[in-house]
Amino acid sequence: EGRGGYIDRFEDLLRSHYALKRKVYVAAAFLAGSGVITGTVLGVINGV
């Protein structure tokens, strides 16, 4: 296989790791955003 194959595999791993990390951040941001919206709606309903 040699050095090139190992480097390629490492780059693929790194790339998929960053893609996964980005998905996690997007999901966290989405959840935080929907949490704020839900809190606001509940606040309005409760007359805060």
Give 7-22 as a DSSP string.
Answer: HHHHHHHHHHHHHHHH
pLDDT of res. 24? 94
pLDDT of res. 12? 93
Whether pLDDT at 2 is above 80? no
Distance CA 41, CA 1 (A): 58
Calculate the alpha carbon distances from 35 to 19, 31, 40, 45 in Å: 24, 6, 9, 15
Percent of the chain with pLDDT over 70: 90
Global pTM reads: 0.56
Q: Work out the pLDDT band at 7, boundaries 50, 70, 90.
A: confident
Whether pLDDT at 5 is above 60? yes
Residue ranges per structural domain of the chain: 1-48
Distance CA 32, CA 17 (A): 22
